[in-house]
Amino acid sequence: MSERTSASPAAAQNINQQVTTRSWFIPLMMRIHFYIGLFVGPFLLISAVSGIFYALTPQVESRLYAQQLFNDSTGPTLPLERQITAAQAVAPRQASLSAVRPSPGEGENTRVLFNVAGLKASERLAVFVDPVTAQTHGAMMVYGTSGILPLRTWLDQFHRSLLLGDFGRNYSELAASWLWIAALGGLILWGARKRKQTRQGRKGLRWLHEKSGVLLLIGLLFFSATGLTWSQWAGENISVLRQQLGWATPSLSTAVGGQSALPADEHAEHHGHRMHMTMAEPPQDRAMYDRALAVARAAGIDATRVEIRQPAAAGQAWAVMEIDRSWPTQVDAVAIDPATMAIVDRVRFEQYPLAAKLTRWGIDLHMGILFGLANELVLVAFAAGLVAMVAMGYLMWWRGRPTRSVRKPRHSPFMLLRKTPKGPLLLIVSLTLLLGVCLPVMGVSLLAFLLCDLLRFLMAWRREPHLSTKRSL
């Protein structure tokens, strides 16, 4: 009897602590989850739907642009010099030769790349040349390191910025900034409701929404993390952090006795930088492309997909880079002194810092490149699941929306935070400030959420002024 009596105060204190925590923490998480779904949900929906279309376009582009991409010729491959000459004959007069991507295999055309004034950031004009006959198969704009064609370029820009330029990039950063919080917050709410759901045996819309969130959790966190790495504001902070920690992707030095370097940027086609847009003059000896490729092959550049890039100015080296980002990743690069044909710098993927490798793999996985069709189908499945979850969330909100008789402000974050003990409250405020600095779009949107909730709180308080603070809690 004495043991039971002595244990009672501790048990009672534990129960009181659990009740106190549940009285503020779970309602606060529910309110945050609600606001994310209500205000960020549309952006998540747009991002997921456009991502589905983007993931499915490689096969569509192969058929849509088959005339430019492929040929039926058989026989030995002509020197790159001959192929470049054919491409220059049909390129615009003001076009400046930039690089060449030799045919990666039988039946595929070579891409001769030109800089043309008036093209947008990261865009180049590609002339497609049959490597066997040197016959041209047309020309079109290609985009970024991946060299994607117009259809995927349009979808990429829509997915990234809603075709609104840098301002539009805030939408995708907003979605990526809140997605991980929505996913983890939903997991917490699911855990809090799990026992009650088991007891009641309910399997309605809320149950389906929660189960879907648990099943998709890893994918949602992955989308959020990789999306943030190439975002405009948070991505810049992440890049600075990687530089400070020595996790940055190594750059290939193209200087011959200088400091010039080609930036190694995993997100080149997503930043909107003016990559490859230097209007370099064509070399006097086009055969240099063949010699540079031969030297690179002898030095271990063995990927079937490579890009040979001529120097943009005197005193710089030629660069030959592997551009095969499917598994296993092949992105090694060498710089070649045109005077001596010696290797002056080399970058190997196997020597990347682990964080740089993970970033490379994460970006390629997000884009559906790393594992081909299987990768694309998994992306589509996760994105479709996110679409369904957002739709279910809005349906639950519509069914349970407040009526005119239910307007008490007891669920306002301002009121809920008044219940929070000082220690947890200080932790919440500190983490919020830290996230607001690291993820600026999240910080600004959080202020907007709080202002909306404050207005709602004040309007409800004005309608029912007789409610005291204690009663409304």
- Express each pLDDT in 284-341 by its tens digit: 579 999 999 999 999 999 999 999 999 988 889 999 999 999 999 999 999 999 999 9
Other C-beta atoms lying within 10 Å of the C-beta of residue 419: 15
280 within domain boundaries = yes
In this prediction, what percent of the chain has a pLDDT beyond 90? Answer: 70
Give residue 200's pLDDT band: very low, low, confident or very high (50, 70, 90). Answer: low
Residue 270 belongs to domain spanning: 244-366
Give the span between the Cα atoms of 21 and 361, in whole angstroms: 40
175 within domain boundaries = no
Residues 152 and 263 occupy one common structural domain: no
Query: Across residues 85-109, what is the average pLDDT?
Result: 97
Query: Across residues 96-104, what is the average pLDDT?
Result: 97
Least confident stretch, 2-11, 199-208, 352-361, 423-432? 2-11
351 within domain boundaries = yes
Give the span between the Cα atoms of 301 and 121, in whole angstroms: 28
Residues 249 and 358 occupy one common structural domain: yes
Q: What is the pLDDT of residue 276?
A: 45
Per-residue pLDDT at 105 exceeds 70: yes
268 within domain boundaries = yes
The CATH number covering residue 331 comes to 3.10.450
261 within domain boundaries = yes
207 within domain boundaries = no
Domain boundary among 342, 366, 390: 366
Could you tell me where the DSSP H helices lie in 130-216?
Answer: 150-161, 165-200, 205-215
Of 313 and 110, the one with more pLDDT: 110
Q: What is the pLDDT of residue 409?
A: 56
Residues 254 and 359 occupy one common structural domain: yes
Q: What is the pLDDT of residue 279?
A: 45
Give residue 263's pLDDT band: very low, low, confident or very high (50, 70, 90). Answer: low
Per-residue pLDDT at 142 exceeds 70: yes
Interval 28-68: pLDDT, tens: 899 899 999 999 999 999 999 999 999 999 999 999 999 99
Query: Across residues 388-413, what is the average pLDDT?
Result: 76
472 within domain boundaries = no
Q: How many domains does the chain have?
A: 2
Domain boundary among 115, 137, 158: 158
Query: Across residues 401-423, what is the average pLDDT?
Result: 68
Domain boundary among 325, 345, 366: 366
Query: Across residues 343-361, what is the average pLDDT?
Result: 97
Q: Residue 41 — left, alpha, or beta (φ > 0 → left; ψ -120 to 50 → alpha)? A: alpha
Q: What is the pLDDT of residue 184?
A: 97
Q: What is the pLDDT of residue 167?
A: 96
Q: What is the pLDDT of residue 262?
A: 67
- Residue 109 phi, psi (nearest 5): -85, 155
Q: What is the pLDDT of residue 469?
A: 47
Of 111 and 15, the one with more pLDDT: 111
128 within domain boundaries = yes
Instruction: Give long-range contacts, CB 8 A cutoff, 24+ apart: 143-148.
Output: 143/269, 144/268, 144/269, 144/270, 144/275, 145/268, 145/269, 145/275, 145/323, 146/269, 146/325, 146/367, 146/369, 147/101, 147/111, 147/323, 148/61, 148/269
pTM score: 0.86
Q: What is the pLDDT of residue 402?
A: 64
Per-residue pLDDT at 12 exceeds 70: no
Query: Across residues 390-412, what is the average pLDDT?
Result: 74
Q: What is the pLDDT of residue 411?
A: 64
Q: What is the pLDDT of residue 183?
A: 97
